[in-house]
Structure formats: C-alpha cells, structure tokens
Amino acid sequence: MKLPFRYRRRHQATIIKVILGVALVGCAIASIPDTQRNLERLSQVRDRAAAISTEQELKKLDAEKVAAEAKTADMRLMKGCSTFLVSASNATKFGNVYPGGKVVNPATGLSLAPGSVVCDNQGGTAVMADIGGSGIAMTDIAITQDFQLVRKAMDLHGINPQAGDGRVGGANARLQH
C-alpha cells in the first residue's frame, strides 16, 4: 500500500516515529526471555554473594572464638596449670582434655576438686566442675596454639614433655573411664 506523496510528506515524522516505536516494541518483546534469564542470574549471584558473606562472617566469628579460647588457655598455663593428664590405660602416655572427662588423683582415687584446672600436652585446658548427677568432670575447654608455653608449664612442674612420666600428686592426674 502506497500512500499519496502529499500525505507522506506531511506526516513523514509521524510515520518514522510509528515505525521506530513498532521496532522498539518488537525488540522489547523479543528480549523478554533474555531479561528474565538475566534477572534469574542476578538473583542467583545475589544469593551466592549473601551465602559467601554469611560464611565469611561465621569464619570470622570462629576465628575470634578460637583466639579468645587461646587467650583463656594461655592464662591458665601462665597461672600455673600444675595438673597434666595421664592416660587412664597407660601411665607413660599423656591423656587429652575433652568435655565431660573425669579426672582422678591416682594416689587417692578421688576426683579432683571443682575449680581445678587440668591441662594436656597438646595445649588443651579445662576446668573441673560439678555437673550434677554425673559428678565432677571437665568443662570450659580452651586450647592454646602456643606450644612453647605448654612446654614451659610442663618444665616448671618437672614433667617430661616427651611422654607421661607417671608422676602423681601435684603434677599429673589420671583420666578415668
């Protein structure tokens, strides 16, 4: 369909605008699936970034917790952690600090008093506490990464850092099963 010349000339700008408008609408309609895909990708990227941020915050909190525990363990060792654990089954090997662990004085067979601080040769420290019906057990576990401090505390009490020497009394206490 051909429009008369006079009509084309008078409405040329309008015709161009209509053609451009139709072309833009066509392009917009054609790009809707791409836009939806891009929005989905953007949403996935946002979700992934939020997950990474949360993970980083958790790692930071864990690192802060480890640092605080290390400070606590360092203080316990510096104040004179005189009770190092010996294995329940073999007095020539060291035992390890663990939550709920029972510790006895091998000379008396009695549990250590609540408030006693116990340590192991790996940097673990704990406080003995009455945990109700279960008796007195290790609680408030803290671990240091300063192994020189552990060795100094062991040397201070004459404990061989290579293996439990079976010393009893003020230096070593035995884990109880």
What are 37-71's pLDDT values in tens digits?
888 888 888 888 888 888 888 889 888 888 888 89
Cα separation, 168 vs 107, in Å, equals: 7
Q: From 71, 72, 119, select the one nearest 96 (Cα to Cα).
A: 119
Full-model pTM: 0.61
Write out pLDDT tens, residues 93-140: 788 888 888 888 877 878 888 888 888 888 889 988 888 877 888 898
Amino acid at 19: I
Q: From 117, 164, 157, select the one nearest 141 (Cα to Cα).
A: 117
